[in-house]
Amino acid sequence: MLQRFEAAIPPQNAERGDAELFFSRELSWLAFNDRVLEEALDSKNPLLERLKFVSIFGTNLDEFFMIRVAAIKQQIAAGVTTRSDDGRLPAEHFQAISDYIRETLPQQMKVLRDEILPAIAEKGVRILSVTDLDEERARTVEHVFDERVFPVLTPLAVDSGHPFPYISNLSLSLAVELEEVTPDGIDVHFARVKIPPTLPRFIEIPETASGARSFVLIEDAIAHHLDALFPGMTVRASYLFRVTRDADLDLQEDEADDLLQAIESELQKRRFGEPVRLEVERGIPENLRAFLLDALDLREEDCYDIDGLMGLSDLMSLYRQAGHDELRDQPFTPAIPLRLRGVSDIFAAIREGDILLHHPYDSFDPVVQFVQAAANDDRVLAIKATLYRTSGSDSPIVRALLEAAENEKQVAVVIELKARFDEENNIEWARRLERAGVHVVYGFPGLKVHAKALLVVREDEDGIRRYMHFGTGNYNEKSARLYTDFSLFTARARLGSDLAQMFNALTGFAKVTDYDELLVAPVTLRREILAAIDRETEHAEAGRPCGIRAKLNALTDKEVVRALYRASQAGVPIDLLVRGMCTLRPGVPGLSESIRVRSIVGRFLEHSRLFSFTDGGDRKLFIGSADWMGRNLDRRVELAVPIEEREMAEELDRLLASVLFADTQHSRELLPEGTYRHLALRPGAGIDAQGELLRRRERSLS
């Protein structure tokens, strides 16, 4: 696998510039996506799970082009000459990205075409070509085409009287070459046929009692029946192509009187973003390729030949087809922690002490039940919540908030309308909540509200008390079965005061400049993280116990990386578990030799954030919503919550040290030159962290 950044190790004791201190964040992200692809390559994974990882790889790459590549192309067009942290100009970065992807794509196509699809076909899940069908099944496809597909199709001619049509983002299209016999000879025409996104990508063909499931790609069925769309013409050939467009929102928030309307307007523009990538079927004629590039105002370096299935994100629909469970990961039932089993009064349970959940091993149900209980409890006076992403139109969390408003509770919800690719969903929820009488706030201009927190104000027998839930993940019960995250229930008074202050700052004009216990971005989080790292440096220099362990999704902040380098130079042992982007260069003599960086990509998406500082023996440990990135520390509202109960903190620290950092089955270690080395030496060797945590869950249920 490609897992490299093409960056040399700076010599020991040499003067080091930024380019020698930092990896490219874009190439680091692509290396993360390679680790996703490695899971598809791993024959130890069940076949449909391997198919799922191919789909995730493709979806990730689509978003990378829509956001990161689009931004770099904008920089190039604007003539930006500022170098990135790793020393590249925008044009150099674009070329490095292009080279990297062109080396990786053939591996993706090869594992899908030559390994996964043939293997699942042997197990009874087949993707067939129309030309390979027998007469009976071919008639089935023809019937589906005539009845369901043909009425939806709109062939679009391209000539002097018909301009090149608009090609929507990520849509599949057929470029069709046609011949027409005229008195003057043969005329050649071009037409575009859009593959309808409203229809299933995979057409199922009924099989006999064999139990097999067979599918035909809709574009294959359309290509095979193009004559029906162009009577009187001869179809010479057709070629599949796909366009990716810039999908980032360009909000002028300071000038927007109504943020909701501004975002709705930008969402309309997203469909018409500038093209950034053209994917074409391998074998397309050069003249047709050049025609498409010219029509889309793209260059050759923006074009990618695809030797296989295009639009791999659609494979997820095949993965989700019912049946063939033997080709999937073994299902599991999340556990209910002992403290909450059989509990009828969740508020009483929280009053007894903090409760920590580790999803997906622990069920997300208690979080839903917490909000539902608050919505229907006569003693509850108010509920406040932040919502970044939910599970869509059937979200039980949002339904409970609506119910609370109907029960005349005071409900305030901060909805982040700018949650990328969830904007429309959040706009819909915002309007429904407003209609129910909920106080809805759309976040801050210039800031995304990414914190995950619920605050319930309740009149207990001994007075007003605040009950809270803090999470590292979204209020989404569906992703809580797929992502690893932490939940903390607490009624600690000082935390309650801090969280109330944060909500006042979000919903009103309160200008909070400090907090007692919560670390809140952009107010205190950066300052406190840097101070904690610097304290470890001081402890190391004084010979006191020191050490840093952190679990993150990404580490790219320049100031934090430099602080970690200083700590390493003082001798602080630093273990970092960074799932995705990491611009820090570990293990460099004289710079970062005490820093280890690992990444786990496995069955579950490692999404939780956890920071642990030895602090001279008085360990400080936090869970939170923020990665160590500039956007999280400076341009988002984020929370990190201290874990004060000693037993709970020790359990989390052991989780980091003896389970997650001990993983050798799905863990890769980042080496100084930028290579990720897989730690598994042989099948069955070492620890599978996620598997171990699932086994612990099983034991807890027995």
Q: For residues 568 and 423, which has the higher predicted lDDT (pLDDT)? A: 568
Instruction: Please tell me the distance from the alpha carbon of residue 295 to that of residue 298, in angstroms, as a whole number.
Output: 8
pLDDT at 159 over 90: no
Question: Rounded to 5 degrees, what are φ and ψ at 400?
Answer: -65, -40
Scan for tokens 């620890």, then name that residue: 687
Torsion of the alpha carbons at 379, 362, 314 and 124, rounded to the nearest 10: -130
pLDDT attached to residue 427: 73
Distances (CA, A) of 429 to 365, 392, 393, 420, 570: 21, 9, 8, 15, 50
Residue 308 counted as domain residue: no
Find the DSSP H helices in 596-668.
Answer: 630-634, 646-654
Please indicate, yes or no, whether residues 360 and 449 belong to a single structural domain of this protein. Answer: yes
Residue 581, pLDDT above cutoff 50 = yes
- In the prediction, which pLDDT does 54 show? 96
Instruction: Look up tokens 């989700």; give the residue.
Output: 320
Q: Please write the tens of the pLDDT for every residue from 468-524.
A: 999 999 999 999 999 999 999 999 999 999 999 999 998 887 778 899 999 999 999
pLDDT band, very low/low/confident/very high, at 420 (cuts 50, 70, 90) = low
* pLDDT value, residue 253: 42
Q: What is the mean pLDDT of residues 28-46?
A: 94
The CA distance from 601 to 667, in Å, is 7
Distance CA 473, CA 453 (A): 10
Q: Is residue 326 part of a domain?
A: no
Say whether pLDDT at 574 is over 50. yes
User: What's the mean pLDDT in 237-249?
Assistant: 90
pLDDT in tens, 356-390: 999 999 999 999 999 999 999 999 999 999 988 77
Please list the active-site residues: 450
Residue 255: pLDDT over 70: no
The secondary structure of 310-364, three-state, reads CCHHHHHHHHCCCCCHHHCCCCCCCECCHHHCCCCCHHHHHHCCCEEEEECCECC
Judgement on whether residues 155 and 90 belong to the same structural domain of the protein: no
684 pLDDT tier (thresholds 50, 70, 90)? low
Give yes or no for residue 259 having a pLDDT over 50: no
Instruction: Please report whether residue 322 resides in a domain.
Output: no
DSSP 179-247: EEEETTEEEEEEEEEEPPTTS-SEEEE---TT--EEEEEHHHHHHHTGGGTSTTSEEEEEEEEEEEE--
Give yes or no: residues 177 and 97 share one domain. Answer: no
End-to-end CA distance of the chain: 41
Question: Do 9 and 148 belong together in one domain?
Answer: no
* pLDDT over 60 at 257, yes or no: no
DSSP code string of 369-429: HHHHHHHH-TTEEEEEEEES---STT-HHHHHHHHHHHTT-EEEEEE-TTSTT-HHHHHHH
Average pLDDT, integer, range 47-71: 95
Instruction: Return the pLDDT at 489.
Output: 98
Q: What is d(CA 201, CA 216) in angstroms, rounded to the nearest whole number?
A: 8
CA distance 631 to 68: 14
- Indicate the average pLDDT of the chain: 89
**Is residue 24 a contact partner of residue 84, using CB atoms and an 8 Å limit?**
yes
**DSSP secondary structure code for residue 628 in this structure:** B
More confident residue, 168 or 422: 168
102-125 residue pLDDT tens: 998 998 899 999 999 999 999 999
Domain final position from 90, 105, 122: 122
In a domain, 416, yes or no: yes
| Residues 79 and 176 grouped into a single domain | no
Report, as an integer, the average pLDDT of 79-97: 92
Query: Using CA atoms, how far apart are residues 452 and 586, in angstroms rounded to an integer?
Result: 31
User: 413 burial class (0-12, 13-18, 19+ CB within 10 angstroms)?
Assistant: buried
Place of tokens 């013409």: 233
Report the pLDDT value the prediction gives residue 393, as an integer from 0 to 100: 66
Write the DSSP symbol of residue 150: G
Phi, psi of 351, rounded to the nearest 5 degrees: -60, -30
State the Cα–Cα distance between residues 695 and 692, nearest whole angstrom: 5
Domain-embedded: residue 16:
yes
Query: How many angstroms separate the Cα of 127 from the Cα of each of 133, 212, 215, 218, 311?
Result: 11, 11, 5, 11, 15
Q: In this structure, are strands 605-606 and 483-490 parallel, antiparallel, or unpaired?
A: parallel
Same-domain pairing of 144 and 96: no
pLDDT of residue 702: 64
**Separation of CA 219 from chain center:** 28
**What distance in Å separates the CA atoms of residue 239 and residue 7, rounded to the nearest whole number?**
39
CATH of the domain at 541: 3.30.870.10
Considering the domain architecture, whether residues 483 and 534 belong to the same structural domain is answered as: no
| Nearest alpha carbon to residue 216 among 106, 325, 142, 306 | 142
Query: Which domain CATH number covers 163?
Result: 3.30.1840.10
Task: State the virtual CA torsion across 528, 532, 534, 536 in degrees, nearest 10.
Answer: 180
Is there a domain that residue 582 lies in? Answer: yes
278/298 Cα distance (integer angstroms):
8
Q: Could you tell me if 104 and 162 lie in one domain?
A: no
Entry field: residues in the chain: 702
- Same structural domain for residues 109 and 162? no
Residue 339 or residue 208, greater confidence: 339
Confidence of residue 400 (pLDDT cuts 50, 70, 90): very high
Same domain, 94 and 151: no
Look up the domain containing 26 and give its range.
1-122
CB atoms within 10 A of CB 442: 19
Within a domain: residue 117? yes
pLDDT value of residue 59:
95
Select from 84, 104, 122 the last residue of a domain: 122
Cα–Cα dist 553/605, whole Å: 10
Is residue 309 included in any domain, yes or no?
no
pLDDT digits (tens, 9 = 90+) for 300-334: 999 999 999 999 999 999 999 888 899 999 999 99
Evaluate if residue 419 carries a pLDDT over 60: no
Q: CB–CB of 48/612 below 8 Å?
A: no
The pLDDT score that the predictor gives to residue 1 is 41
382 and 498 share one domain: yes
For the cut 70, the answer to whether the pLDDT of residue 204 exceeds it is yes
pLDDT band for position 14 (50/70/90)? very low
Decide: 3 and 675 in contact? Cβ < 8 Å: yes
**Can you give the pLDDT at residue 666?**
92
pLDDT tens digits for 441-471?
Answer: 876 777 889 999 999 999 999 999 999 999 9
Q: How far is CA 246 from CA 57, 194, 270, 275, 594, in A?
A: 19, 20, 7, 6, 41
- Burial grade of 135 (CB within 10 A; 0-12, 13-18, 19 or more): exposed
pLDDT at 424 over 70: no
> Of the candidates 298, 327, 354, which is a domain's last residue?
298
- 260, pLDDT greater than 70: no
> What is the domain count for the chain?
4
Task: Answer yes or no: do 558 and 504 share one domain.
Answer: no
Q: What is the pLDDT of residue 28?
A: 96
CATH number of the domain that residue 109 is part of? 1.20.58.310
CB burial of residue 643 (10 Å; 0-12, 13-18, 19+): buried
Angle between helices 259-270 and 423-435 (to 10 degrees): 150
Q: Is 103 helix (H, G, I), strand (E, B) or coil?
A: helix
Residue-wise pLDDT tens digits, 630-665? 999 999 999 999 999 999 999 999 999 999 999 999
